[in-house]
């Protein structure tokens, strides 16, 4: 094997260092952009879930008023509230589901916690595709003075993944699918 001249060896080493430095900078930049985008999407989803919870609370107030003063047959305000890619729940403060009539145990547990502490936030890691579903629950007082808990469940991917509109077997679960299954719920760590 023939040895390279000193100048060629120096050139080869410098090229290797330049390539390694460039790839390191590119990797750090990519990781930084990914983490920033992920954090921003998480914040936007959290804000959206909280806003949807407030809309659910308004609908529950309307429902309570309509039930207290029935003038004619009207549709339930909670049935009329439809938010894409969100599962909506109304509980009493002990975790008994009011609307819909059933909920997964991890959602009931979050409702009980919100009934005690005022609010609860949870993440559920679904299987087999390891998607994360977000839950936000808040206690509120109705017009009659009765306390309720409003809970909203949404996918962390929000509307970005078209599979959210699909049914079972799709790449990502619909939030309502996760809401009907018990599973490895864990407490959220926050954004």
| Domain 31-187 of CATH type 3.30.450 | yes
CA 147 from centre of chain: 25
pLDDT digits (tens, 9 = 90+) for 162-182: 333 333 333 334 445 444 443
Q: Residues 142, 45, 165, 100: what is their CA dihedral angle, to the nearest 10 degrees?
A: -20
Please check whether residue 49 is in contact with residue 134, taking contact to mean a CB–CB distance below 8 angstroms.
yes
In angstroms, how far apart are the furthest CA atoms of the chain? Answer: 99
Q: Give dist(CA 40, CA 184) in Å, integer.
A: 25
- Mean predicted lDDT score pLDDT of the chain: 80
Q: Give dist(CA 66, CA 172) in Å, integer.
A: 37
Q: What confidence score (pLDDT) does residue 73 get?
A: 67
Q: Residues 51, 55, 57, 63: what is their CA dihedral angle, to the nearest 10 degrees?
A: -170
- The pTM of this model reads 0.68
pLDDT digits (tens, 9 = 90+) for 52-100: 999 999 999 888 888 777 777 666 778 788 888 889 999 999 999 999 9
Domain coordinates in residue numbering, the chain: 31-187
pLDDT digits (tens, 9 = 90+) for 137-167: 999 998 888 999 999 998 755 443 333 333 3
């Amino acid at each position: 094997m023939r040895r390279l001249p000193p100048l060629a060896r120096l050139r080869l080493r410098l090229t290797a260092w330049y390539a390694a430095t460039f790839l390191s900078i590119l990797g750090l930049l990519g990781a930084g952009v990914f983490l920033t985008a992920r954090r921003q999407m998480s914040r936007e989803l959290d804000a959206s879930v909280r806003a949807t919870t407030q809309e659910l609370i308004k609908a529950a107030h309307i429902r309570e008023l309509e039930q207290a003063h029935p003038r004619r047959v009207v549709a339930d305000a909670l049935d009329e509230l439809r938010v894409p890619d969100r599962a909506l729940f109304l509980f009493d403060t002990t975790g008994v589901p009011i609307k819909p009539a059933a909920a997964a145990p991890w959602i009931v547990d979050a409702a009980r916690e919100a009934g005690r502490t005022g609010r609860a936030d949870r993440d559920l890691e679904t299987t087999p595709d390891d998607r994360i579903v977000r839950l936000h629950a808040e206690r509120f007082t109705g017009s009659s003075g009765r306390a309720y808990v409003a809970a909203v469940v949404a996918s962390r991917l929000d509307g970005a993944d078209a599979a959210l509109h699909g049914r079972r077997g799709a790449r990502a679960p619909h939030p309502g699918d996760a809401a009907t299954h018990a599973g490895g719920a864990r407490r959220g760590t926050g954004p």
